[in-house]
Amino acid sequence: MKVDKCRELSENMVMFDVEHFEEMTPQCRGKVSYVSEVESTNDEAKKLVREGKAVSGMLFLADYQTQGRGRGGNQWVCPRGAGLLFSLLLEPDEAAAFWNRMSLAVGLAIVDVLGGLELDVKLKWPNDLYLGGKKLGGVLIENVNGFLIVGVGLNVDVEEFPEEVAARAISLANVCGDRVNREKLLSDIVKMIFKYGSLIGDHFGYLRERVMECFYLKEQRVEMKVNGDILEGDVLGLSENGYLLVACEDGLEEICNATEIKILK
Ligand code: BTN
């Protein structure tokens, strides 16, 4: 375990208690790297995979990222100590070809854990987390040498967002009265990711049905970017593999990967 004590912690910021987290999370015991600042936790995980030192259950956690990345080449920015910013390394039993299924499993895991805090979080396909119509978090999964790097950014203690995103973003601090226990929250999320991650093969039908219960794009007319083209249509649901089914002008499309998905009012 590597703990880089942060000297620049703001007065209100509480350091993450790795020991407490590891006690609650056997899957990650002895495999947590916690630093105050890093370019991107996904990139740290990637380095370990490329060096051949990766083990399933390794967790890279940071208080702050200088080059946090989101899907579609977007940045992921979160104030120091105000989020959960982590990357979990998984070596799935199932072929990594199922990684799109894993992305739904991870989103659902987070929805369910936050449901335990009585929060009605929705999953915007493929894996953005929405609360009250605003973005609470996101998932960036990367597939490297048979490992899946599951990168999660969740707004926890962000009291105020910069003006340009304030109308579209939300944090747990905006809706939960008490301060959220980050160790317990992360532990519950990681355990749920392992649980749902084990279902992406033969039991994916169950996950798919559960995702449909918290499906943010249900029956919406949407516009999205698919391989550089703009596509518009009505969302019908999810295909057997967890791809997005959209009724477009030219017929039914099964969308594997899309960015900038906008709901058209
Ligand atoms: C998105 O909404 O586009 C996904 C955001 C994912 C951000 C997380 S933060 C931890 C991990 N490290 C990164 O650089 N990105 C992911």
Query: Cβ atoms within 10 A of the Cβ of 143, count?
Result: 14
Q: Which of 33, 84, 85, 156 to mutate to test the pocket of ligand 1 (most atoms within 8 A of CB)?
A: 85
Atom of ligand 1 nearest to the CA of 69: 14
Q: How far is the C-alpha of 68 from the C-alpha of 75, rounded, in Å?
A: 6
Quickly list H helices, the chain. Answer: 18-24, 41-50, 99-115, 163-166, 172-175, 182-197, 204-213
- Predicted local distance difference test score (pLDDT) of residue 2: 36
The pocket around ligand 1, CB under 6 angstroms, is made up of 40-42, 65, 68-71, 74, 76, 85-87, 128, 138-140, 151-153
Q: Which two tokens stand for residue 152?
A: 């999660």
Ligand 1 centroid to Cα of residue 149, in Å, is 11
Q: How far is the CA of 252 from the centre of ligand 1 (A)?
A: 31
The residues facing 247 across adjacent strands are 234, 252
State the sign of the Cα–Cα–Cα–Cα dihedral 209, 214, 219, 221. Answer: negative
Residues in a beta bridge with 228: none
3-class SS at 139? strand
Q: Which of 85, 106, 105 is nearest to 43 (CA)?
A: 85
DSSP tag of 179: P
265 residues of the chain, pLDDT tens digit each: 333 433 344 556 778 999 999 999 999 999 999 999 999 999 999 999 999 999 999 999 999 999 999 998 899 999 999 999 999 999 977 655 577 899 999 999 999 999 999 999 999 999 899 999 999 999 999 999 989 999 999 999 998 888 888 899 999 999 987 778 999 999 999 999 999 999 998 899 999 999 999 999 999 999 999 999 999 999 999 999 899 999 999 899 999 989 999 999 7
